[in-house]
Amino acid sequence: MPHLFRTHDGNEWKPGKPMALTLEDGTKVEGVWAGSAQVEKLPWWLSEPGSNLCQTDEVAAVAVRGEHTGETRWGNAPPGARLFFVLKPPQRGKNGHAYRLAKLVTTASTEAQTKYFDDERFSLFGTFNSDGTIASIPSLPPPSEPGDVRRPGELF
């Protein structure tokens, strides 16, 4: 499962931090990344009253910490791709402030992704269709070497 992602402005996002998300109707919301939701079980995740499907801004890259190696490896996102999250119903924290947990939607890794990232789950890339469904975007092949993913603007 991805553990980090980077947007085109160079910001890195990780679990536990609030992030801006957009509902299928364009409404801006905030969620705290907390785990994942398998795309195969998406109807179940969305069946809880108050749960919503939402997407990030465009992403540049995602990182996965290997299940066995513990090594974090980055892979580029396809052009125009966004990540999807299931936004859970609002909760109240100990301080009384409301927040919403967001579960990253994942898909089964390809054989090449499993080999490179050392994980059997990967990000589901896509955008919203006009009817609020997901228009999946195929992921790019993983880099051939662990150091092959550069930050935006890096030449070498």
Closest CA to 58 of 86, 36, 83: 83
Q: What is the pTM of this model?
A: 0.89
Distance CA 27, CA 113 (A): 33
Asked whether residue 104 is domain-assigned, the answer is: yes
The Cβ of residue 74 has, within 10 Å, a number of other Cβ atoms equal to 22
Within a domain: residue 84? yes
Q: For residue 93, what pLDDT is reported? A: 87
Sign of CA dihedral 124, 126, 128, 131: negative
Question: Is residue 130 one of the residues assigned to a domain?
Answer: yes
Is 148 within a domain?
no
Q: How many domains does the chain have?
A: 1
Question: What domain range is 99 assigned to?
Answer: 3-136
pLDDT tens-digit profile, the chain (156 residues): 789 999 999 999 999 999 999 999 999 999 999 999 999 999 999 999 999 999 999 999 999 999 999 999 999 999 999 999 999 999 998 898 899 999 999 999 999 999 999 999 999 999 999 999 999 999 999 987 655 444 444 544
Q: What pLDDT, on the 0 to 100 scale, is given for residue 154?
A: 52
CATH number of the domain to which 17 belongs = 3.90.1680.10
